[in-house]
Amino acid sequence: MPPHRMPPSPDGLAAQIEALLDEPTTTHGLGRALRAAAKEIELYRYHRAGSRAWPDGRIDAVPSKIQIGGGAHRIDGFLNIDAVPPADLLWDVREGIPLHDDTVRVLFSEHFLEHIDYPRSAKHYAREAHRVLAPGGQVVTGVPDAAFVLNQYPADPGQADEMIERWYAKRDCLGDINTYLDLINYVFRDQDDDPAYTPHLWAYDHEKLVQLFGEAGFRSVEPWPFDPAIANPKRQWGSVYVIAVK
């Protein structure tokens, strides 16, 4: 590398991205790509901080109950792992689950799986869940139910109202969500260009979850009876949950 060039670093790249985003000549398309890269750099920084402390990818603690991707919905008595604060442990789960083999009793996530890429990261997550669970351990997974939304299409436009109210009423997007097909688009994409939201990268239904966890080695995958003591009550409507047993 020429002596005047700094070695590449995520911090240097983040500064360059910020500067480019301020440039009036930056086009909409380039801006989208840069914002997506800036988000990934933020996740990378959090993940690096954790992985420096545990370079072999395994934390010292041996928790028996874990929540992945809980965001602000922390669960008492669980180790809450997320890519961003607030969480007990900041970790990018696409890099693996930082726990020891055969140790966990319950692994819970809801509205997380659809935010990681399929097949690479989703299948890796399912295999990692299987690795960290003790024999008989359970992974509970809830996602937006694509079948629920698709089964109602073509729908009377009025049928979209409840879904909009429950899922999107607080968002600054209602002017653009006018038809039932807009809602179907949201299940598959969510708001991919909104800094406040991470996009949906894959859609799931019961069958897809059964296949994903079955392929990862789980001996049974059944519907999970929604328990508001653990799950986020606002997720019950329009979601599908399964419980897979190792």
**Contact set with ligand SAM (CB under 6 A):** 69-71, 73, 82-84, 92-94, 110-112, 115-116, 198, 232, 235
Cβ 207 to ligand SAM shortest distance, Å: 22
Closest CB to ligand SAM among 19 and 53? Answer: 53
Closest CB to ligand SAM among 91 and 180? Answer: 91
Cβ 87 to ligand SAM shortest distance, Å: 8
What are the start-end ranges of the H helices in 54-200? 120-132, 146-150, 160-168, 180-189
Q: For the chain, count helices (H), then strands (E).
A: 7, 7
Cβ 232 to ligand SAM shortest distance, Å: 4
Left if phi > 0, otherwise alpha if psi is -120 to 50, otherwise beta: which for 238?
left
Cβ 57 to ligand SAM shortest distance, Å: 14
Placement of tokens 């688009």 in the chain = 185
Asked if omega into 223 is within 30° of 0 (cis), the reply is no
Whole-number Å distance between alpha carbons of 128 and 101: 9
Rg over alpha carbons for the chain, rounded to the nearest Å, is 20
Closest CB to ligand SAM among 14 and 75? Answer: 75
Whole-number Å distance between alpha carbons of 152 and 145: 12
Closest CB to ligand SAM among 116 and 183? Answer: 116
Cβ 54 to ligand SAM shortest distance, Å: 15
Residue-wise DSSP of 36-65? HHHHHHHHHHHHHHHHHHSTTS--S---SE
Placement of tokens 């990261």 in the chain = 121
Closest CB to ligand SAM among 125 and 213? Answer: 125
Whole-number Å distance between alpha carbons of 205 and 143: 8
Closest CB to ligand SAM among 34 and 84? Answer: 84
